[in-house]
Structure 1
Amino acid sequence: MPSKPSKYGIKIWAACDASSSYAWNMQIYTGKAADRKPEKNQGMRVVLDMTSGLQGHTITCDNFFTSYALGEELLQRKMTMIGTVRSNKPELPPALLSVKHRARFSSMFAFTETHALVSYCPRKNKNVLLMSTLHRDAAISSQDHKKPEIILDYNKTKCGVDNHYKLFATYTCQRKTNCWPMVIFFNMLDVPAYNSFVLWVGINPTWEEIKRFKRRLFLEELGEVLVTPFMKRRQVCSSGNKASPSPVSTPSKRKRCQVCESNKDTKTIMTCSKCNMYICKSHAVITTYCYACEKSKKV
């Protein structure tokens, strides 16, 4: 995707909170369906999947997802929608698409029982189309740009997903790899780590309130808490094993292994702890006994 900051990678649909960038739901884009046929109304299907379980929220989406049918479906689920619209949508009236003789900073509105459409001209021969099921009037800002309230609300809430991935670039466990399962695995670590930070700060707003790098401190504590149980278990396992006696050796004398075949010239300084027979590493059991002594010890 050449228009994105990361042009190459794995595409993931995401639904994030507009203010905190908390990831509510994510879904990996797998391309065509199992029957190898292009999916119809993919944008609508993705939004409905991503917002499953939500109520009373306003969904902000770009022109790939926004449609009249999507707005109606979200209203049935007790949610509203704001989004930019592509000019090739069949539900758009021709009067909103025309930019001839339109003044700069002018706006045109169209309303139905459930939807509101606006065509805003930021400059000559250029218009921006938006659709909303939240707004029911033609309110316009009093500032010089004279933007409609629909556009102002859209600009406030449109950066949830982009900011979510921007935060990943600051603190991430991802490494450069050509193995795509590892890319998914790194993402599965980054997303819960950030979500847990948002929840922790929301529950404890006074935690490290003065410091400006609270997320780094949280990740350090989170990593320590995650590895501590495994470190303790390893420590218990290592302390439970009795230390094996060091092999008896005579550094000043180096002789041939008495277990190896006669035609092999394998010299060693290691001796059996019981019979003092010279043995090499390949014939030592637990590095201290020869096979015969180890077998007699078990019997």
Structure 2
Amino acid sequence: MYIPSKPAKYGLKIWALCDSKSKYAWNMEVYLGRARNTQPERNQGERVVLSLSEPLPRGHTVTCDNFFTTYNLAVQLLRRNITLVGTVRKNKLFLPREITDMKEKNILESKFLFTENVTIVSYVPKKYKLVVALSSLHHSPLVDEGDRKTTEIILHYNKTKAGVDALDQLVTNYTCKRQTKRWPVALFSNMLDISAYNAYVIWTEINPSWNTNKLYKRRLFLEELGKQMVQPNIVRRERLPRGIAAKNIVKNIQENSKSAEKASTSNISARNESTKKRQRCFFCHHTKNSNKYSAVCSTCQKFVCKEHSSLVCENCG
């Protein structure tokens, strides 16, 4: 698709639901375009938000821009115990004229409209500009006491609106994408980038003290993640690469893996050395046609048969 307002104007369009604080990608959906011989989809933004937020736990708040926000969407999300905050396009039919009319409105003036569960506010930040916002989270006409006199709804929107764009920027900074004309490859590379970032968010939440004094923690995490994903393939590789540097890297990894494998097998063999041997019983070895046994006494380490041994439980042993 071609979207001139985006930093990457050409690309695959993906609807995303992200956490506003950690930028964790909670749910995503690829836009596949309109089906052939069908009418254009009406209320597409509303349908997308309802689809992405379906697995979202109750009690959360969804922030979206004016492409998605409608009064009907706020009501439907409230049935799931999910609140909505977002800007609204001024040509929406559910908006009354008192909200969208620019006449008799001063700069930095706010006008509120309340229903049973939804609040709509219009705010004039500067001359000839009007901002309309809708919220099912706020139910009072609170206004900031600063110079801009911004409403609480718009402050909340500005604080939580950049989740998807921030994720797009973070993924672009460290990416495995390569120039390609095959869209499945481009989509798969994007999935890897987003999955790696989600893994980084989970790792830092579980281990908050990991490299706290370093500003490039994500780069270190991605390097370690890449090594762990590639190392099994390097160990199984039979032919060495032609480049000297790459050849030395592959050799070192294979030698280290072999030495570690030998150490582990030697420990296992040392533990099981006594069990692999079979000898005649210490008490009846003088008897003719005596069989060999693998059982060893745990105290004197002598081989014994069933007649000269006994079972002892964990408490008695």
Q: TM-score range by the shorter chain?
A: 0.7 to 0.9
Superposition map of 1:47-66 within 5 A: 47-54=49-56, 55-66=58-69
RMSD: 1.5
Shift of 1:101: 2.1
One-letter amino acid of the counterpart of residue 133, structure 1: S
Q: Deviations over 1:184-242 (max 9, x none)?
A: 01101101000000000011000011011000000000011112222233369xx9xxx
Which of 162, 179, 183 is the matching residue for 1:180? 183
**1:89-168 matched pairs, under 5 angstroms:** 89-168=92-171
What letter matches 2:186 in structure 1? V
Aligned to 1:36: 38
Per the alignment, residue 12 of structure 2 pairs with 10
Q: CA deviation at 1:168?
A: 1.3
SS at match of 1:126: coil
Q: State the Cα distance separating 1:149 from its structure 2 match.
A: 0.2
Give distance in 2, aligned partners of 1:126 and 1:215.
40
Q: 3-state SS of the aligned residue for 2:124?
A: strand
1:234 is aligned to 2:237: yes
Q: Is the 8 A contact 1:102 1:125 kept in 2?
A: no
Match of 2:76?
Answer: 73
Equivalents in 2 of 1:95, 1:74: separation in Å? Answer: 26
Percent identical residues:
52
Alignment-derived partner of residue 198 in structure 2: 195
For structure 2, the 5+ residue unaligned runs are 240-253, 255-317
Q: TM-score, normalised by structure 2?
A: 0.73
Structure that is richer in strand per residue: 1
Deviation at 1:177? 1.6
Q: What's the secondary structure of 2:130's corresponding residue?
A: strand
Pair 1:221 & 2:224 matched: yes
1:35 Cα deviation from its structure 2 partner = 4.7
> Does the CA contact (< 8 Å) of 1:15 and 1:161 recur in 2?
yes
Find the aligned partners of 1:34 and 1:195 in 2 and give their Cα distance: 35
TM-score where L is the length of structure 1:
0.77
Distance 1:141 1:130 in 2: 16
Check whether the contact 1:33–1:39 (CA below 8 A) recurs between aligned residues.
no
- Cα separation, 2, equivalents of 1:207 and 1:33: 48
Matched residues in 2 for 1:94 and 1:37: separation? 30
Q: Which runs of 5+ in 1 are unaligned?
A: 240-299
* SS of equivalent to 1:122: coil
The count of corresponding residues between Structure 1 and Structure 2 is 237
